[in-house]
């Protein structure tokens, strides 16, 4: 499930709402269930989940619907509209289950819609004049909502795969350059630890000081709309697995766009086995700025790198429960220091032990 805090858009009709959904999520949903929740007349929350596949999924529509309803109710929503994207045979049982679950939670369902192949149907309207049996033609690109959202700087990518590509590793010459830069960073880290004072035998204080300096450099550079060099990115990436360094960065993430840009850049350029920490930081930055879908794909990268990485697991639970950023006090670093550090592995051995 993906949740997001919403941009300010004036929605006055069913067509407006359908046109707004891609901008609320950040991409055009397909094979999805979307619940748009309101408090009074204000949209406060949007949640998206995959449309259940009755052949392949072990999760029943009822169980998935109960979870969606619980997340929406947790936002103190008073009413909601349920939208299914896909063929009727898959959408209908799913939206029926979600509607029943929302009713059970005391959330008033304003409408239940299905959008398929450029037409939409309402499950709650039986008037053929406004809801004909053949559906109502719908083209999001002609909506004033799309124009207003674009003017406000909101982006709706073609699909979720396009969002995933935003955090994919860079290839070609950039990847080769980063491999070489990371080798140099490894050597620099080994030299740093070898020169650590005898009073700092494990190298923890030395690592933290180097990490704090690297994080500050990265944040200052991106705050000024600059970008790290390959060597600076590699150096930061080999220091972030040290939990105090990661937590130092975590505590300083705000909801400005440059935080998302910084950690997106590091995630895409870092070597694959070093992605867990920066991807988790990206997920946190995206979630704080109301970009829940981006947070989700960043977590997917973090957990592919390290399925047991504690910060990623924590953020996954936050997203799964639909917790809004305003609902928690900041800063909220992982004070337990429970980020899992991997054991030695090939040329990463010294770095991992650090």
Set out the domains of the chain in order of their start, with CATH numbers. 2-159 (3.40.140.10), 166-353 (no CATH)
Residue among 347, 350, 268, 274 nearest 306 (CA): 274
Instruction: Please give the pLDDT value at position 341.
Output: 36
- d(CA 158, CA 149) in angstroms, rounded, equals 15
Phi and psi at residue 49, to the nearest 5° = -135, 155
- d(CA 147, CA 33) in angstroms, rounded, equals 24
User: Cα separations (Å) of 245 from 31, 207, 252?
Assistant: 40, 8, 11
- d(CA 179, CA 126) in angstroms, rounded, equals 62
Residue among 231, 223, 230, 243 nearest 189 (CA): 231
Sequence-ordered list of residues with C-beta below 8 angstroms from that of 316, at least 6 positions apart, any chain: 299, 303
Three-state DSSP state, 187: helix
- Given a contact cutoff of 8 angstroms between Cβ atoms, the answer to whether 3 and 322 are in contact is yes
Could you say which residues of the chain have pLDDT below 70?
1-9, 54-61, 147, 150-153, 200-201, 203, 326-354
Exposure class string for 138-172: b at 16+ Cβ within 10 A, else e: bebeebebbebbeeeebebbeebeebbeebeeeee
For 48-100, write each residue's pLDDT tens digit: 888 887 555 555 667 888 888 988 988 889 999 999 999 999 999 999 999 99
Instruction: Please give the pLDDT value at position 209.
Output: 94
Q: Which residue has the tokens 């959408």?
A: 91
Instruction: Please give the pLDDT value at position 292.
Output: 85
Provide the token pair at 222: 């991106």
- d(CA 158, CA 163) in angstroms, rounded, equals 9
């Amino acid at each position: 499930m993906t949740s997001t805090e919403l941009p300010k858009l004036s929605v006055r009709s069913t067509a407006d709402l359908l046109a707004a959904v891609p901008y609320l999520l950040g991409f055009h949903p397909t094979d999805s269930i979307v619940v748009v929740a309101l408090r009074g007349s204000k949209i406060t929350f949007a949640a998206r989940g995959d449309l259940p596949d009755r052949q392949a999924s072990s999760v029943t529509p009822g169980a998935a619907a109960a979870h969606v309803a619980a997340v929406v109710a947790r936002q103190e929503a008073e009413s909601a509209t349920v939208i299914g994207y896909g063929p009727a045979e898959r959408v209908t049982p799913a939206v029926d289950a979600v509607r029943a679950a929302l009713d059970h939670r005391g959330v008033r369902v304003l409408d239940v819609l299905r959008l398929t192949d450029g037409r939409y149907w309402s499950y709650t309207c039986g008037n053929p004049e406004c809801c004909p049996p053949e559906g109502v033609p719908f083209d999001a690109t002609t909506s004033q909502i799309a124009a207003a959202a674009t003017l406000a700087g909101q982006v709706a990518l073609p699909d979720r795969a396009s969002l995933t590509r935003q955090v994919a590793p860079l290839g070609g010459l950039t990847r080769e350059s980063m491999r070489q830069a990371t080798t140099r960073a490894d050597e620099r880290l080994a030299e740093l630890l070898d020169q650590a004072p005898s009073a700092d035998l494990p190298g923890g204080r030395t690592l933290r000081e180097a990490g704090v300096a690297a994080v500050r450099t990265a944040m200052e550079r991106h705050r000024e709309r600059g970008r790290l060099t390959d060597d600076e990115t590699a150096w930061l990436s080999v220091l972030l697995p040290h939990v105090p360094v990661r937590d130092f960065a975590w505590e300083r993430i705000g909801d400005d766009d440059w935080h998302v840009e910084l950690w997106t850049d590091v995630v895409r350029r870092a070597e694959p086995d070093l992605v867990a920490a920066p991807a988790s930081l990206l997920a946190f930055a995206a979630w704080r700025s109301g970009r829940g879908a981006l947070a989700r794909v960043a977590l997917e990268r973090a957990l592919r790198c390290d399925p047991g990485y504690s910060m990623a697991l924590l953020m996954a639970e936050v997203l799964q429960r639909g917790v809004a950023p305003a609902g928690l006090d900041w800063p909220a670093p992982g004070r337990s220091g429970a980020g899992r550090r991997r054991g030695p592995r090939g040329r990463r051995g010294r770095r991992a032990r650090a």
